[in-house]
Structure 1
Amino acid sequence: MPAAPVTATRDRRLTWLLGSNAFANLGDGIAKTAFPLLAALVTRDPLLIGGLSAAQFLPWLLFGLAAGTMLDRVDRRKAVVLANAARAAAVGLTAALVYFDAATIWLIYLTALLVGAAEVVADSAANVLIPSVVGRDGLSGANSKLQATEIVGQTFLGGPVGSLTFAVFHAFPFLLNSIAFALGAALLTGMAGSYRPRARAESGGGDGTDPGTGAAEGADTAGDTDGTVTATRTRLRADLVEGMRWLRGNPLMLRLVTVAGLVSLVTELAQAQLVLYALDDLDLSDAAFGVFGFVGGLGGLAGAAVTTRLLDRIGARPVLVGGILTAAAAFVAMGLVNHPVLSASLFGVFAAALVAVNVMLATTRHTLVPGELLGRVLGAWRTVVWGAIPVGALLGGVLTRVLGTPSATFLVSGLALVGVAAVAWRTIR
């Protein structure tokens, strides 16, 4: 009978986490529509448009590993709260800049970098919270729900809201974006408990605090600040080495990181040009651009709904390879057609396939990686996978410049994904 209260507690904690994540992803969705539209208002240069996506994701390459290491030392719930509060402040400043007609492409880049740096912490912390919130038995279901909140927030709601409000009043979506991030921070304060990694909580006497925060270290800090800082850096470096050693010793995880990084790089060739594809090749309005993403969100929800059953029935490897091939076919078709409804539907197919791949990868990662190392391994994972996004975004801008149209970039991206699927099939067992 004691299992019932534990289950109920886990359900409540997951509800708080999903609710916070939903608001944060609503903010992400508004931002990922409003920022490209704002950039397209300032310039139509495909390389500068690709540069915006690079600026948004460059922090993953710069700070992903350090953030993951820190998340194995701090309360992960508090990290999400602070990061979302920082994002709310940065986007609120952007709303003021847009309102006073002071936004330039370089200020847009700077804001994207600030928001992206906070996103590194918020998204990583939310992800590594999952095992401590639901336990190992509920991982695939919780990851599917987390993917669903991301899809609903970012494309199903955030995209249309961002584009429609931008068409009405350019500063409006950034104000809503700031409010959404603030709500994401506030909501997670309702999730009770301490969420430091278990190994450190136990070594601190079982009270859920890091042993380095006690009175002894306080005395050292007062008398020898430089020594304390040096010791902290040494511990962080040792933690990082420990995580990298574990990753190097797990060939399956290394191969999965490689495949995920290739998928990220190749898909971003096209995704960074999506706003120009919609506005120029499909001749959509600013408001219609969000509806285009809305259809993609429907596909993503479908992918999240069926992935758990697919994993149970056909296994992880077919889901991975089949998802990449389906995404490839969708992008190739998008490069060959110029019909808005058909193109949006194909983007929905791509989103469904990519979500299936992401759920499979996240569930495998949560299953294989020890909880006390999860932050560091996830930091390394996202440094590679999300760090590939700015590279792909800039290459996509160059491709569109050379080929003359975003549609051609979608075609190239789809064909390259076929090669990534072949790599996955040969290397993942």
Structure 2
Amino acid sequence: MDTSRRLTWLLTSSAASHLGDGIGKVALPLLATTLTRDPVLIAGLSATQFLPWLLFAAVAGALVDRIDRRRAMAVANTARAVAVGALAVLVASGGLTIWLVYLTALVIGTAETVADSAANALVPAVVGDGSLDAANSKLQACEIVGQTFLGGPIGSTAFALFAAFPFVLGSAGFAIAAAVLLGLAGTYRPRTEAPAQRLRVELVAGLRWLRGHPLLLRLVAVAGLLSLVSELAQAQLVLYALDDLHLSDAAFGFFAFAGGIGGLLGAGVAPRLVRASSRRAVLLGGILGCGLGFGGMGLARSPVTGAALFGLFAAAVVAVNVVLATARHTLVPGELLGRVLGVWRTVVWGAIPVGALLGGVLTEALGTAARTFAVSGIAMLMITVFAFGALRRFALDDESASAGALPHQDP
């Protein structure tokens, strides 16, 4: 199977899973607001969904380095389909509590650590000698289209029609994502000359490798800080839209629609910006754009202005993610990619539940979610300055080795 067909199957599966994820990311907080309006409990839902990245990302990465990555994606997506389908039954039956919503979010997040790690580790294998910037940009575009551009409006509209409806649709999306992977022919188990070792030993080996690479360590620090401070506000988005901008439940998803447009723009222009300047310039400019977007949202009082600024944030953060993903694929050997990605995600995605809880406390203390957005924006401007100093001695544009690539085996 040629490179373009392999990438198409991977992107199709990713698009379907992100659609299910996007529907859930809108429907879950809306469902929670029918049970409580406590900002700490609302933020706690976001924290619970991302908590598995803090607890299991490193283990998931090590598993991805041991098994067929395509199969890992299929099993994880199947698990998410079952969990979301079960939630739909609970919603329809009327026996739901906030704690059952939390439990479902925890199961979905745990399966996501495997599915997302496997998908990212598969990129160099399916691309081969193709452009990693372009492939990562397309993967980001699938995430944006699924999670925000389509998932947000579908999730909010379906919820307004019938509370269980978005979860039925989300379950179907994950099931389709698992089925589509049958078209990705070949074997995608990492090849290594070393014999299989205990999981703990392999985890330590990945961590030791990462410690010896100062550029990647700095990128982890920058990404972790950005994740933490952006989630201060992200976890309060539903309260910002409903309480500060006075939008309806249905309109909330279309507010996020603007984020999808911005994200698609960011995915489309990121490779061009990299070619025109450098990855470091795009990274720094992206972090600056994130800060301006969220800082402006803290001052906005118009839904149109707030949505436009959210689009700016989405475009900027996608450009940042494209650069960071390509840096990982270029610098990390294929047989270590899952483990290094696991450590990366433990730090970066593990910061999300911490930021979400802090954001809930901050909103409660400041009185409005809008003020939390302002604080988050100012903090991201400070991260821009930190990143400039931390990365000024390093080049991010050497793609000569494409270290993350690993061979696939056609049957």
TM-score bracket, normalised by the shorter chain, equals over 0.9
The alpha carbon displacement at 1:84 in A equals 0.2
Cα distance between partner residues in 2 of 1:387 and 1:60: 5
Distance in 1 (CA, whole Å) between partners of 2:288 and 2:39 is: 27
Partner residue of 1:18? 11
Q: What amino acid maps onto 1:289 in structure 2?
A: F
Q: CA deviation at 1:319?
A: 0.9
Q: Which amino acid aligns with 1:375?
A: G
In the alignment, what sits opposite 1:95?
88
Asked whether 1:247 is paired with 2:210, we answer: yes
1:224 — aligned with what?
none
2:317 paired with 1:351: no
Which residue does the alignment assign to 1:70? 63
Shift, 1:422, TM fit: 0.8
Inter-partner Cα distance in structure 2 for 1:401 and 1:148: 34
Aligned to 2:198: 235
SS, match of residue 86 in structure 2? helix
Moved over 3 A (4+): none
Aligned to 1:400: 363
SS of corresponding position for 2:192: helix
Q: How does 1:296-315 map to 2 (within 5 A)?
A: 296-315=259-278
* 1:40 equivalent among 33, 53, 56: 33
User: Which residue number corresponds to residue 330 of structure 1?
Assistant: 293
Higher-Rg structure is 1
1:136/1:367 contact within 8 Å kept: no
What do the CA deviations read for 1:35-58 (whole angstroms, capped 9, x no partner)? 010011111111000000000000
Correspondence 1:182 to 2:145: no
Task: Identify the structure with the greater helix proportion.
Answer: 1
Return the match for 1:320 from 283, 286, 292.
Answer: 283
Task: Report which stretch shifted further, 82-91 or 99-108.
Answer: 99-108
Residues 1:361 and 2:324 aligned together:
yes
Distance 1:374 1:236 in 2: 15
Per-residue deviation, residues 373-426 of structure 1 (Å, max 9, x unmatched): 000000000000000000000000000000000000000000000111111000
3-state DSSP class of the match of 2:185? Answer: coil
2:400 aligned residue: none
Listed one character per residue, the Cα deviations across residues 60-105 of structure 1 (whole Å, up to 9, x for unaligned) are 0000000001111000000000000000000000000100111211
Pick from 79, 88, 93: which aligns with 1:86? 79
Q: What is the deviation of 1:371? A: 0.5
Q: Any idea what SS the aligned residue of 2:386 has? A: helix
Matching residue of 2:334: 371
1:266 alignment counterpart: 229
The alignment covers a number of residue pairs equal to 392
Q: Residue in 2 aligned with 1:108?
A: 101
1:159 offset after TM fit, Å?
0.3
Q: 2:256 aligns with which of 293, 307, 310?
A: 293
AA aligned to 2:366 is: L
Distance 2:75 2:286 in 1: 35
Shift, 1:136, TM fit: 4.5
The letter for the 1-side match of 2:330 is T
Alignment of 1:163-182 (within 5 A): 163-182=156-175
Cα deviation 1:327-359 (Å, max 9, x = unaligned) = 101111100011111101110000000000000
Stretch moving more, 13-22 or 134-143: 134-143
The residue number in structure 2 matching 1:222 is none
TM-score, normalised via structure 1 length: 0.90
Residue 427 of structure 1 pairs with residue 393 of structure 2:
no
Q: Is the 8 A contact 1:148 1:304 kept in 2?
A: yes
Task: Report the CA distance between 1:9 and its aligned residue.
Answer: 1.0
Residue of structure 1 equivalent to 2:42 = 49
Please give the TM-score of this superposition, normalised by the length of structure 2.
0.94
| Paired residue type of 1:325 | L
Q: Which of 139, 147, 164 does residue 146 from structure 1 map onto? A: 139
* One-letter identity of the residue aligned with 1:29: G
Give the partner amino acid of 1:292: F
Q: Which amino acid aligns with 1:117?
A: T
Q: In structure 2, how many angstroms separate the alpha carbons of the residues matched to 1:150 and 1:67?
A: 20
User: How far apart, CA to CA, are the structure 1 residues paired with 2:226 and 2:379?
Assistant: 9
> What amino acid maps onto 2:65 in structure 1?
D
Shift in Å at residue 321 of structure 1? 1.1
Q: Kindly provide the amino acid, as one letter, of the partner of residue 242 in structure 2.
A: L
Whether 2:157 is the aligned partner of 1:157: answer no
Taking the aligned partners of 1:102 and 1:80, their CA distance within structure 2 comes to: 31
Whole-angstrom distance in 2 between the partners of 1:241 and 1:29? 34
Same amino acid, percent of matched pairs: 65
Q: Indicate which of 122, 126, 131 corresponds to 1:129.
A: 122
The answer for the alignment partner of 1:207 in structure 2 is: none
Alpha-carbon separation, structure 1, partners of 2:67 and 2:132: 22
Where structure 1 has 5 or more consecutive residues not aligned to the other structure, the ranges are 1-7, 204-210, 213-233
